[in-house]
Amino acid sequence: MDARVEDTKDYFSNLMTAEELQQLMPLGRDNAFEVVKLDHLETVACLPGKTGANIVRVRRRPSALVHDSHYVFKGMPLAAYLKEPKDFKEHYETTLIHEIITLCDMVPHPNIMPPPKMLVVFTLDGKNKICGFLQPAMKNDSVDAQVIRANKKQKRLSLSLKAKWCYQMALAIRHTHRVAKTYHMDFKPGNMLVDDNENIRLIDWEQSGVSMFTHAPEVVKDQSAKESNTFKNGKRRIIYTPNQQGPRKNLKWGFPDWNVYPDWKTVCPRAAELSEVFSLGRTMWMLLEQVAQNANQTEWTPASGDIPSEWKDMVMSCQKLDPNERPELDEVVKFWEEAWEMAKAEEIKAKAMATVKKTKDSKEINKTGDTDGSKVA
């Protein structure tokens, strides 16, 4: 048998049918999917990041797809199998399939990307199996791309927009933990898309590794967490206990080796929340300072002179090394809700004053024209 044909059959055997996926889906959710064949996709652009996602156009469309619209294709095509065939099925199920199920199981939120409605299938011998999914492409890209674009133009994003995004980030993470009862673990500017109304949508729910740019220091250690009977500022202190039973590994394709989140969400949900408060702080700093996502130490430069000092204080408070010293998610949400309202009010006031000044200047010019005789009666 030709090696290519054999590889294709091996790849296909590792994939899951739509019917098999439905068996894993949460009950009581609308899990209806359109199906798009992989060979009907046309790549328009490649996206940055380790997921290998692409912007695509669908050449032959089900009725649900808008003509000539662009979509993000996230999947594991044959090329991914040929690159890393070992444990491919496990990788496929614990990342791609896991993300689909996680999104379908989540209570909807306006700042979280909704579950995919279109599955991409690989076809062999007349049979279809899932190799990815499609979601709408956002022409405004991500928060990270917005920052990079503004910097190229030597332009500062408005305070009201920054406060709005910080507020929406906090809302998305609070919903993730308090309502969806899960975690994100890869929160960063590149994982927040900006829609046509300049609202953010949190994406990338593989839960297969932490961000190298924003992770809290405590999550890269194999340790348990529990709330003690000791209180400070009305809150129970969390105690972290390192694992003493030797190295463990439950993340094969991400960093670190041991994912603490599943255990923390069950035993000590606040530990999971406070770790993502740290990631919020890092992400907010990158937005407010206006730098591309990076692993550099958090520092404020003269470029951030337009940022209110209390905003900076909140960002730094979120990044306290001791998780017990960080604000709770409710505090972060409330702070940015108020900050956004104030920033909007200041922006409206500034525009009104600019309009008054423009009108006054126009009248002065007309008055000068009358007095110097330039205006003929």
Report the DSSP beta bridge partners of residue 16.
Answer: 130
Using DSSP bridges, classify how beta strands 192-194 and 200-202 pair: parallel, antiparallel or unpaired.
antiparallel
Phi/psi at 28 (5° precision) = 80, 5
Q: Based on the fold, state whether residues 316 and 226 are members of the same structural domain.
A: yes
| pLDDT tens per residue across span 305-359 | 999 999 999 999 999 999 999 999 999 999 999 999 999 999 998 888 877 777 7
In a domain, 351, yes or no: no
Pair 183, 272: CB distance under 8 Å: yes
Please report, in angstroms and rounded to a whole number, the separation of the first and last CA atoms in the chain: 97
Structure tokens at 278: 């740290």
Pair 198, 142: CB distance under 8 Å: no
Task: For 32-126, list the strands marked E by DSSP.
Answer: 34-37, 41-46, 54-58, 70-75, 118-124
CA dist 375 → 24, 267, 361, 363 (Å): 81, 81, 17, 14
In a domain, 355, yes or no: no
Per-residue pLDDT, averaged over 28-44, amounts to 87
Cα dihedral value 89, 95, 100, 104, nearest 10: 120
Phi/psi at 212 (5° precision) = -75, -15
Q: Based on the fold, state whether residues 71 and 163 are members of the same structural domain.
A: no
Q: Which helix (H) or strand (E) holds 14?
A: helix 3-14
In a domain, 72, yes or no: yes
Range(s) of the domain holding residue 279: 143-340
Q: Based on the fold, state whether residues 120 and 214 are members of the same structural domain.
A: no
CATH number of the domain that residue 95 is part of: 3.30.200.20
Task: Give residue 377's pLDDT band: very low, low, confident or very high (50, 70, 90).
Answer: very low
Q: Based on the fold, state whether residues 235 and 325 are members of the same structural domain.
A: yes
Q: How many domains is the chain partitioned into structurally?
A: 2
Q: What is the pLDDT at residue 65?
A: 52
Sign of CA dihedral 90, 95, 96, 101: positive
| pLDDT tens per residue across span 44-88 | 988 877 677 899 999 865 555 555 689 999 999 999 999 999 999
Q: Based on the fold, state whether residues 86 and 160 are members of the same structural domain.
A: no
Pick the last residue of a domain from 136, 168, 186.
136
Q: Based on the fold, state whether residues 201 and 173 are members of the same structural domain.
A: yes
In a domain, 45, yes or no: yes
CATH number of the domain that residue 173 is part of: 1.10.510.10
Structure tokens at 36: 């798009």
| pLDDT tens per residue across span 80-121 | 999 999 999 999 999 999 999 999 999 999 999 999 999 999
Pick the last residue of a domain from 136, 154, 176.
136
Q: Which residues of 35-63 are buried (b: 16+ CB within 10 A; e: fewer)?
A: ebebebbeeeeebeeebbbbebbbeebee
Q: Based on the fold, state whether residues 39 and 174 are members of the same structural domain.
A: no
Output DSSP code: residue 256: S
CA dist 98 → 90, 303, 335 (Å): 11, 41, 33
Asked whether the predicted pLDDT for residue 213 surpasses 50, the reply is yes
Q: Based on the fold, state whether residues 240 and 114 are members of the same structural domain.
A: no
Q: Based on the fold, state whether residues 89 and 164 are members of the same structural domain.
A: no
Q: Based on the fold, state whether residues 115 and 150 are members of the same structural domain.
A: no
In a domain, 198, yes or no: yes
Pair 188, 279: CB distance under 8 Å: yes
Asked whether the predicted pLDDT for residue 143 surpasses 80, the reply is yes
Output DSSP code: residue 328: P
In a domain, 168, yes or no: yes
Q: How far apart are alpha carbons 82 and 174 in whole angstroms?
A: 39
Pair 327, 284: CB distance under 8 Å: no
Output DSSP code: residue 112: B
CA proximity to 269, closest of 154, 183, 346, 342: 183
Task: Give residue 360's pLDDT band: very low, low, confident or very high (50, 70, 90).
Answer: confident
Phi/psi at 163 (5° precision) = -65, -40
Q: What's the mean pLDDT when you consider all of the chain?
A: 92
Q: Based on the fold, state whether residues 244 and 179 are members of the same structural domain.
A: yes
Q: What is the pLDDT at residue 372?
A: 57
Task: For the chain, list the strands marked E by DSSP.
Answer: 34-37, 41-46, 54-58, 70-75, 118-124, 127-136, 192-194, 200-202, 223-232, 235-242
Q: What are the helix (H) ranges across 15-111?
A: 18-24, 78-83, 88-92, 98-105
| pLDDT tens per residue across span 129-139 | 999 999 999 98
3-state secondary structure of 281: helix
Pick the last residue of a domain from 136, 157, 190.
136
Q: Based on the fold, state whether residues 80 and 203 are members of the same structural domain.
A: no
Task: Give residue 268's pLDDT band: very low, low, confident or very high (50, 70, 90).
Answer: very high
Cis peptide before 48 (omega within 30 of 0): no
